[in-house]
Amino acid sequence: CSIISEYVFSLPLTPQFASSFSNESALPPNLLLPTNLVDPDRLKRPPPPADSSLPPLRKCDAAVPAHLTPVQTWVESLERQDSEPLGVAQLHPDVFAVPPRLDILHSVETWQRNYKRISHAHTKVRSEVSGGGRKPWKQKGSGRARHGSIRSPIWRGGGVSHGPRGPTSYYYMLPMKVRVQGLKVGLSSKMAQDDLHIVDSLNIPTPDSQYLLDLIRHRHWGESVLIVDVGEDFSENILQATANLKTVNVIPAIGLNVHSMLKHEAIVLTLETVKFLEDKLLWHDERYTPLYPFKLPYSDFP
Amino acid sequence: MKVLVPEVAHYFRVALATPFHIMAALFGSTVLRRAWLGPSSLCCRTPGAPVSAAGLRFVSNAAPEDNRSPIIESTEEYKYVERLIPSSRIPTPPKHTGPTPSGWIPPADSPPSLPYMIRRSRMHNIPIYTDVTNSNRKLTLIRKVEGDIWALEKDVRQYLQEVTGKELPTQVNEVTMTLKVKGHFDKELKDWLVSKGF
């Protein structure tokens, strides 16, 4: 056995992609590379430096703490496939540069999956199985083991002793601040990994899905893109373009959630969405504990 | 059968709200009892026509409705309610130059130039809390730390060494960015942090 292992370790470890046909490429056609490999094309335009001299298209509305600086990103346009960025936008660090708390992301993601779950698995207990009220044979004298009913769990066709019981609900609520922090951590993680793109508006020239796919391919945004906008009315072009696409989805800003952020590789926000998210998420840092549910009116609810 | 005069009809409609036995004492007629039970037995007759089924007809039913003025909604009085609705945001405290009479000290205008930063809580207080577990285990917890938490831990250990003369065990949680110290030292640590300008 040791002789064989010595022989195995002496072989060259590089995989041989040589094929019998000389004009074929070295890589096999069915090779699947992971999509999150660092693509050298993406490193062409680095994010704008903190001390760039460009006037920002958008400044933070809320006060930024003195020891933090706003995050700067390019503002792009969807009008043309190869258009240059329109300018620089400043984002609040308490929403887009929060420390990466993966444990909060995990707990919010599991909560999102489980709080809606109702499992309908149900088995009958020995009292619920039909029959089994009578003692099958007398206690003593028959020579067989003693039994009280034909539906006890040790019998074939009997009830299940410790099985799932009825519809069980897995509902629970994480604290509101944990869920808010999950959103902030998700946005910060996407920003830190260059997967967050800011766009001035969602106007595209054609309702063609291929245009969007070509644009995403050209800009190396990733496999799947989540487009977020404020308000219920979107332009017809973007709705039609994304209607038949499985990997590119449009949602309103109130529908932003950690599961969707993790499922899609890239996230595209408009400037109004950024303002909306900053308002809503930063309010939780400076709010009172609710005197009555927040559904009822308060004088300065965001 | 009684004939209802218009002036009495609106008394009758008001009297519908009074209990039946009081009405019976007032009027004391079986006809009225049938008329009273007619509109109240909603399970067996349609609410649209209780009056006609009971056999009584209010002569002046339609007339008072036409003479009433239309309902006007006025929004000027809303301000009396709106000023009572509470605010949901904690206000920023007014500018104070030094300690306030209650003992609250505002943070410094510019953050101190240290490798760590300790933010104030949402009520603008220093985030140092004490905990007692099993009635004999005392802990002091420093939350909301940003930056180099190990430098803070070193400074805290050194400061408490000067204050108490003992080497106190500390625990750093880098994920939640909190620092735990064995023992109750919230007053000392709060004064120390305030003197630093956090």
Tokens 């708390």 label which residue?
A101
Amino acid type, A131: G
Instruction: For residue B56, count other CB atoms closer than 10 A to its CB.
Output: 20
- The burial of A282, by beta-carbon neighbours within 10 Å (0-12 exposed, 13-18 middle, 19 or more buried), is given as buried
Chain B residues close to A290, C-beta within 8 Å: 88
Chain A residues close to B109, C-beta within 8 Å: 66
What pTM did the predictor assign?
A: 0.77
Candidates A287, A290, A297; nearest CB to B89: A287
Question: Contact B12/B4 with Cβ under 8 angstroms?
Answer: yes
Chain B residues close to A291, C-beta within 8 Å: 86
Dihedral sign computed on CA atoms, order B92, B96, B99, B105: positive
> What does the pLDDT read at residue A79?
92
Do the chains contact at B85 and A66, CB–CB below 8 Å? no
Question: Contact A160/A124 with Cβ under 8 angstroms?
Answer: yes
Candidates B88, B119, B175; nearest CB to A301: B88
- Please tell me the distance in Å from B119's CA to the nearest CA on chain A: 9
A1-47 confidence digits (pLDDT tens):
455 445 444 444 444 555 566 555 678 888 887 766 766 666 666 77
| B17 has a pLDDT exceeding 60 | no
Which residue in chain A has the smallest CA separation from B91?
A286
Note whether ipTM > 0.90 here: no
Own/partner contacts of A34-40, CB < 8 Å, gap of 24 or more, are: A35/A222, A35/A223, A35/A265, A36/A265, A39/A220
A227-263 confidence digits (pLDDT tens):
999 988 899 999 999 999 999 999 999 999 999 999 9
| B33 has a pLDDT exceeding 60 | no
